Amino acid sequence: MLRFERAEAPELPDFRIEQDGDLVEFVWPERTREWWAMWKASPQAEHFSSTDWDFLLDTALIHARYWRGEVSLAAELRLRVAKHGATMEDRARLRMAFAEADEADGGKGASGAEGARARYAKLRVLKPGEESPGG
């Protein structure tokens, strides 16, 4: 059995790419910076190891290229974010559950970043064979 070691999220790195035979500074699209900040603040991030962050960092580069117009990368991007529980369906497939989610927002359907933090504050990964609370 492997021992889990939580890792802190890295910053998006500065690097150079070749463009027209020259090395130029890569500039992260603002949308990718926002996407990265979202992942860093997500409840799932509490459960990311160094290899998860490394994989997500490579995914950030795909995200950046997608937002620069390389729409052929959409399928690969979708597959990669699914591995980290991007959507409700992904989280269900990965057996992630929001413990007492209704109680976290008082049943009021909180919205926005603060509401999301409250709703997802008790996100946890279920072990094989473990049932979600209340079900």
Which structure tokens are listed for 111?
A: 């919205």
Same domain flag for 36 and 86: yes
Residue 107 is classified by DSSP as T
Each residue's pLDDT tens digit, 59-103: 999 999 999 999 999 999 999 999 999 999 999 999 887 665 545
Strand 96-98 relative to strand 123-125: parallel, antiparallel, unpaired? antiparallel
Domain with 108 in it: 95-129
pLDDT for 28? 97
Same domain flag for 48 and 77: yes
Same domain flag for 103 and 63: no
Q: Confidence class of residue 111 from pLDDT cuts 50, 70 and 90?
A: very low
In a domain, 7, yes or no: no
Same domain flag for 121 and 76: no
Q: Confidence class of residue 110 from pLDDT cuts 50, 70 and 90?
A: very low
pLDDT for 131? 76
In a domain, 114, yes or no: yes
CB-based contact 44:4 (threshold 8 Å): no
Same domain flag for 77 and 45: yes
In a domain, 43, yes or no: yes
Each residue's pLDDT tens digit, 6-44: 999 999 999 988 889 999 999 999 999 999 999 999 999
Q: Which amino acid is at 1?
A: M
CB-based contact 128:94 (threshold 8 Å): no
Q: Confidence class of residue 3 from pLDDT cuts 50, 70 and 90?
A: confident
Same domain flag for 34 and 69: yes
